[in-house]
Amino acid sequence: MMTGTTYKPKESVPLLGRMREPKASYESLSTATKRFLIGSTVTLFATMLLLAYLTPLFYMGVTAFKTEDMIADPKAPLYPASAASIEYEGEQVEIYEVPIDDAVRSLALVSPGRQESTFVDPENLADGPIEWEGNWRTLEQAYAFDPRTENFSRAWETMDFLTLLRNTVAIAVFGVVGTLISSTLVAYGLSRFQVPFRRTIFVVLIATIILPGFVKLIPTYALFYRIGWVGTWLPLIVPHFFANAYNVFLLRQYFLTIPKELDEAATIDGAGPLRTFWSVFLPQVKPALMAVALFHFFFAWNDFFEPLVYLSGRRDLQPISVGLTLFKSAYDSQPHLIQAGALLGLAIPLVVFFLSQRVFLKGIDLSGVQK
């Protein structure tokens, strides 16, 4: 007999909780999938941009090892390759891809004909002639990898590359020395000394970055012409001993990351401003100094306009940028020589960058961070 107690079924909360678990797993899986798709899309887009950027460099490197005949041959592959051939009975015979017995074989054409031609197997000459029916002109010619390094020696001698290299290195190195000395001292003063109108001076200095170079070309050329510097390296070197706004900004931001307690500790030990600068600051700003040095080195190496203006009448003092342009105008119909010369001019900056890229990138990263 049942009593008046009401029967209550068990709560179904645990069951609902178990039912929600697959939904939560699905949501987490969906989020991971979205992240994967977004990351893959960004990576693919970056790869496509990198390939588009490197395509001209790839073309330059490939063309530098070709000959005029390789470039003019429309059927030649992209890489440096010449028509494959062998010597047969005292003559050079070319090799073609011949379809025989449901297979394609590389055979040398020894006797061409309209409807029937004679071939030999380059790997088994002892097998004798092989008759093939068909028009040999429809066959695809075989090519062999054949890079030509003589393009570089010819470009080296024609351009007098050793003289151009000496001039470029001299201009770049002296300019780097002047840039490091002047920019480091100015950045140190703007970051550590409480001089009147310091912010105004810094703002005016940074504002000169937006000043186009051609605006000051005529006044500076007139000045250098009056003092007899035109036709020498001085207009390309001396101005860099008076600091550069971009380099000053880069080094100043790096100096600001150094705690001021180091200045106070050096002052207590009896060190003056220059001794503090030399013994405390310079050892800590090596990455930034390396970045500034490489920035100016690459700028001086690639600079074309100013050397052209000031050294137009001095072929013996011109850098690689101007020499390569003159070489291009003289050998405009021989792109393989032009690309070989360009690759020679590009080799040293690439080597310098790859050898110092770790310090270079570290200097760029830390110079823009203020603690």
Closest residue by Cα to residue 183 from 276, 245, 235, 238: 245
pLDDT at 9 over 90: no
For the record, the structure tokens of 354 come out as 């790859």
Closest residue by Cα to residue 235 from 301, 175, 160, 310: 310
Instruction: Evaluate whether 112 touches 101 at the Cβ level (below 8 Å).
Output: no
Give the pLDDT band of residue 26 (cuts 50, 70, 90): very low
Give the largest Cα separation in the chain, rounded.
126
| Confidence at residue 31, expressed as pLDDT on a 0 to 100 scale | 78
Please provide the DSSP assignment of 335-370 as one string.
Answer: HHHHHHHHHHHHHHHHHHHHHHHHHHHHHHHHHT--
What is the value of pTM for the model shown? Answer: 0.76
What gap in Å lies between CA 281 and CA 286, rounded to an integer?
9
What gap in Å lies between CA 305 and CA 74, rounded to an integer?
37
pLDDT at 363 over 70: no
CA distances from 271 to 219, 237, 266, 277 (A): 43, 33, 5, 9
pLDDT tens digits, 129-179: 888 888 888 889 999 899 999 999 999 999 999 999 999 999 999 999 999
Q: What count of Cα atoms within 13 Å lies in the side-chain half-sphere of residue 256?
A: 15
| Confidence at residue 181, expressed as pLDDT on a 0 to 100 scale | 94
pLDDT at 10 over 70: no
| Confidence at residue 274, expressed as pLDDT on a 0 to 100 scale | 86
Give the pLDDT band of residue 223 (cuts 50, 70, 90): very high
pLDDT tens digits, 291-341: 899 889 999 999 999 999 999 888 899 999 999 999 988 888 889 999 999
pLDDT tens digits, 243-283: 888 899 989 888 888 888 888 888 888 888 888 888 888 88
The listed CATH number (1.20.1250.20, 3.40.50.300, 3.30.1180.10, 1.10.3720.10) that belongs to domain 151-367? 1.10.3720.10
